[in-house]
Chain A
Amino acid sequence: MLTNYPALGIFFLITIAFPVTAMGLAWLFRPKPKAAPDDEKFTTYECGVNTQGKTWIRFKVNYFLYALVFLAFDVEIVFLYPWAVKFGVLGPFAFIEMIIFIAILLIGLWYAWKEGALEWY
């Protein structure tokens, strides 16, 4: 049954061959240094200037909380759009359904507000 997947197999082989070829050619053509590499050679290559201070610092959790609250309403909009477009056809049942949906999200917002997720401290 594996005969059904020749394309996948070729793709897989190319995926392996590509990085091997690229790195092999680079190794072949690059200038070979005579002296042993110093510390500067071993620093991680990055665009721009060197980082200042430690990178493993703690970020404020508030960013995350804002993102969560934002996400809740972002998803709400996704559901509201098709509902609004079809509102005339769907009738009162869909209206009540959407009110319940928004009410649950509002409870979430109220909860986050009351817990202090919207304070910046």
Chain B
Amino acid sequence: MDISLLLTEIMVALLGLLVLVLGLALPARGKTVVNRFALLGMIAILAYSITAFSQKASFFNGVYQIDMFGSYFKLLFLSAGILVMLMAGKYISRFEEKSSEFYGLMILATLGMMLMSSAGEFITLYVGLELMTISFYILTAYLQNDKLSAEAGLKYLILGAVSSAILLFGISLVYAMTGTTMFTEIAAAFTMQPALLAGVVLIIAGFAFKISVVPFHMWTPDIYQGAPIPITTYLSVGSKAAGFAALVRVFMVAINGADASFDWSMLLAILAALTIIIGNLIALSQKDVKRLLAYSSIAQAGYILVGVVAANSFGLKGVLFYAMIYVFANTGAFAVATAVEVDTGKTGIEAFAGLSKRSPMLAAIMTICMLSLAGIPPMAGFAGKFYLFAGAVQNGYLWLAVIGLIMSMVSVYYYLGVSKAMYIGENENDSPVLTTGGSTVALWICVLATILLGVYPGPLSELAGYAIQILM
């Protein structure tokens, strides 16, 4: 056992603790230094984790797995964390003296996601999940004088606790029937029995809550709307990707293929179809951009779930590929929404009216990111959806791919509704929307990645291909 293989996780843990301690120990003036330190630390860890990408090891008899699948998701979580920290920009000033703790909790949430993506056993997975969600409970309620934020925090706490309980109950049933919590041993001891069936269904329900799959999506809009926008962004890209990382590993290693007498993929396929349809249809009538993006993120979870249903190399590659490009497209859209909210104090669609005249660049970036989410070529979203739906068709789920395609077309309507407001809408205020240096950098990274990965998806898809080899 070589501890140095855990260096990425250890560094993230140390950075989180250091930021919390320094933020409290230094006087108010030192806090901006701590915030910079947190950002630089995350960038350094990202650089290290790229060099450590191909490491492979198994800790404590398989409880913790270092492999390319985990490494891929670690890259995703770190880049998402960095982008969110950059794009938070002026929004941070709303947190007053609590800004450095905001960074500390973000880093600890990232650590939780990393544990989830590398766990080879249910208890470790659960500890990672709780580390992530408890950090998010606090961060969601971070705007102390905002009633919506407090409401969102309380709702998330209660519903999150219920979903954790459901997940734990499922794990306990699986443990009772197989006598182990290790994924590989569960697969070996898997025999179809009613109690085990109930256990697996409860586990899937617990994960479905985290990735906001219909019918476990009710919490998403309220919490996305109430939470501070940077946290909404991180919830929608980071927390969701972590849920998918854990779901894919559990599904592929422990459950799928262990016993062919029950068709799990059909259960997931129905969930995916419901999610795509309901998410997109409700999004059509949204007037608030944060809520619109919340429902859009529900629909996006449905698309990614299509890849898990397919469970072949195309589909799983699609899951990893789509999760990564979703980070860039969604963070870009939320970064523009953040800039507009800082400027106007509102997030309704009317706040975006005339944005093309006020800040043409922001309007263009918002449009590009939205088109990527809708899956229009040449944006990255098209390449991602191509992998996902191709995988589904290969595995005989043609109807699911057709539903996905039709609802993608429907989604263009509400995505372009925002663009319509930005380009055709009138606004008496024509002063440009100001962005800080950090959020400008984040916006450029998001838009460049969205276009480049759409035009040239090869390298990322190859990387995703290596990452899923462990599961095939």
Q: Which residues of A contact B (CB under 8 A)?
A: 1-2, 4-5, 104, 107, 110-111, 114-115
With known contacts A1-B193, A1-B194, A5-B194, A114–B17 Cβ distance under 8 A:
no
Bound CA span A114–B22, Å: 12
With known contacts A1-B193, A2-B194, A4-B194, A115–B17 Cβ distance under 8 A:
no
A1 with B21: CB separation less than 8 A: no
Chain B positions within 8 Å of A107 at CB level: 17, 20-21
Chain A positions within 8 Å of B25 at CB level: 114
| Majority-rule SS of A interface residues | helix
Chain B positions within 8 Å of A2 at CB level: 194
Closest to A110 in B: B21
The 5 A-B pairs of least Cβ separation, nearest first, read: A114-B24, A107-B17, A107-B21, A1-B194, A111-B24
16 A-B interface contacts by CB (under 8 A): A1-B192, A1-B193, A1-B194, A2-B194, A4-B193, A4-B194, A5-B195, A107-B17, A107-B20, A107-B21, A111-B20, A111-B21, A111-B24, A114-B24, A114-B25, A115-B24
Closest to A115 in B: B24
Bound CA span A110–B20, Å: 11
With known contacts A1-B192, A1-B194, A2-B194, A104–B17 Cβ distance under 8 A:
yes
Number of interface residues of B (CB under 8 A): 9
Chain A positions within 8 Å of B21 at CB level: 107, 110-111
Bound CA span A111–B20, Å: 8
Closest to A103 in B: B17
A95 to chain B, nearest CB (A): 15
Chain A positions within 8 Å of B24 at CB level: 111, 114-115
B144 to chain A, nearest CB (A): 14
Chain A positions within 8 Å of B192 at CB level: 1
A23 to chain B, nearest CB (A): 29
Bound CA span A111–B21, Å: 7
Bound CA span A104–B16, Å: 11
A11 to chain B, nearest CB (A): 13
B273 to chain A, nearest CB (A): 28
Bound CA span A6–B127, Å: 36
Chain B positions within 8 Å of A104 at CB level: 17
| Majority-rule SS of B interface residues | helix
Bound CA span A4–B192, Å: 11
Chain A positions within 8 Å of B17 at CB level: 104, 107
Closest to B23 in A: A111
Chain B positions within 8 Å of A114 at CB level: 24-25
Closest to A4 in B: B193
Chain A positions within 8 Å of B194 at CB level: 1-2, 4-5
Chain A positions within 8 Å of B193 at CB level: 1, 4
B194 to chain A, nearest CB (A): 6
What does the 1/0 interface line of B23-43 toward A look like (CB < 8 Å)? Answer: 011000000000000000000
B404-460 interface (Cβ within 8 A of A): none
A109 to chain B, nearest CB (A): 12
Known: A4-B194, A107-B20. 10 other contacts (CB 8 A): A1-B192, A1-B194, A2-B194, A4-B193, A5-B194, A107-B21, A110-B21, A111-B21, A111-B24, A114-B25
Chain B positions within 8 Å of A110 at CB level: 21
Chain A positions within 8 Å of B20 at CB level: 107, 111
Identify the interface centre among A104, A107, A111, A115: most chain B CB within 10 Å of its CB. Answer: A111
B156 to chain A, nearest CB (A): 18
Closest to B104 in A: A111
A48 to chain B, nearest CB (A): 31
Chain B positions within 8 Å of A4 at CB level: 193-194
Closest to A2 in B: B194
Bound CA span A105–B440, Å: 39
Chain B positions within 8 Å of A115 at CB level: 24
B103 to chain A, nearest CB (A): 15
B18 to chain A, nearest CB (A): 10
What does the 1/0 interface line of B1-28 toward A look like (CB < 8 Å)? Answer: 0000000000000000100110011000
Closest to B25 in A: A114
B1 to chain A, nearest CB (A): 10
Chain B positions within 8 Å of A111 at CB level: 20-21, 24
A118 to chain B, nearest CB (A): 14
Bound CA span A2–B21, Å: 56
A93 to chain B, nearest CB (A): 10
What does the 1/0 interface line of B164-197 toward A look like (CB < 8 Å)? Answer: 0000000000000000000000000000111100
B235 to chain A, nearest CB (A): 24
Bound CA span A114–B17, Å: 15
Bound CA span A90–B347, Å: 58
A2 to chain B, nearest CB (A): 6
Closest to B21 in A: A107
B130 to chain A, nearest CB (A): 14
Bound CA span A115–B101, Å: 12
Closest to B13 in A: A104
A60 to chain B, nearest CB (A): 19
Bound CA span A4–B177, Å: 13
Bound CA span A121–B220, Å: 37
Chain B positions within 8 Å of A5 at CB level: 194-195
Bound CA span A1–B177, Å: 14
Bound CA span A107–B24, Å: 11
Bound CA span A5–B198, Å: 13
Bound CA span A12–B25, Å: 58
Bound CA span A115–B25, Å: 10
Bound CA span A107–B194, Å: 47
B148 to chain A, nearest CB (A): 21
